[in-house]
């Protein structure tokens, strides 16, 4: 069985958050607690991944999240490149991805295009957008798992 199918079949109710702010961790934890979905938050700082303090492949393999939230902060160009490397990893196959930032306009400006990121500045609307994105990506991951399981 290939790793994509193995990951898809064993994904759990875990949401991983890679970010730079403890406030964001608290906000997403409260969001998941209040969502009514049976999901647990795990997290690490994006900089620890980029510096190699935390190994991305091992983290994903060991925790097996069904949804991963990437919260991009400056320096946007470096963090965007690193995000793309992580996003394109085969370990991400079948996992939902939510991209957030505190300054979408600046991220889009650096990239020269729409990043499709959700802007998070602590407003209630931000929480609603993140909640909807997590719910959507969870359903997408569940559908991927169902297809992978039926092919096994």
- 15-69 tens-digit pLDDT: 999 998 888 888 899 999 888 888 999 999 999 999 999 999 999 999 999 999 9
Cα distance between residue 34 and residue 12, in whole Å = 19
Omega prior to 75 cis, within 30 of 0? yes
Are 90 and 3 in contact, with CB atoms under 8 Å apart? yes
**CA distances in angstroms from 94 to 12, 48, 49, 142, listed in the order given:** 12, 24, 21, 8
Position 12 confidence tier, pLDDT thresholds 50, 70, 90: low
151, part of any domain? no
- Residue among 98, 136, 100 at smallest CA distance from 120: 100
Question: Is 21 a member of any domain?
Answer: yes
Number of domains observed in the structure of the chain? 1
Does residue 31 fall inside a structural domain?
yes
E strands, the chain, where? 14-19, 40-45, 67-72, 96-101, 118-119
Per-residue pLDDT band at 152 (split at 50, 70, 90): low
Residue-number span of the structural domain to which 74 is assigned: 3-146
pTM, rounded to two decimals? 0.85
User: What three-state secondary structure class fits 20?
Assistant: coil
Residue 70 located in a structural domain: yes
> Which residue, chain included where needed, has tokens 């964001």?
24
How does pLDDT run across 47-58, given as a tens digit for each residue? 999 999 999 999
């Amino acid at each position: 069985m290939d790793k994509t199918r193995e990951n898809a079949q064993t994904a759990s109710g875990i949401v991983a958050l890679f970010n730079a702010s403890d406030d964001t961790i608290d906000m997403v934890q409260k969001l998941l607690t209040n969502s009514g979905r049976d999901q647990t938050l795990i997290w690490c700082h994006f900089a620890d991944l980029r510096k190699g303090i935390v190994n991305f492949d091992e983290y994903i393999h060991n925790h097996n999240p069904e949804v991963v939230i990437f919260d991009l902060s400056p320096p946007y160009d470096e963090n965007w490149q690193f995000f793309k490397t992580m996003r394109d990893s085969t370990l991400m196959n079948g996992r939902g991805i939510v991209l957030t930032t505190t300054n979408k306009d600046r991220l889009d400006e650096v990239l020269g295009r729409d990043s499709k990121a959700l802007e998070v500045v602590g407003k209630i609307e931000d929480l609603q957008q993140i909640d909807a994105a997590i719910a959507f990506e969870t359903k997408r991951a569940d559908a991927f798992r169902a297809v992978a399981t039926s092919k096994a």
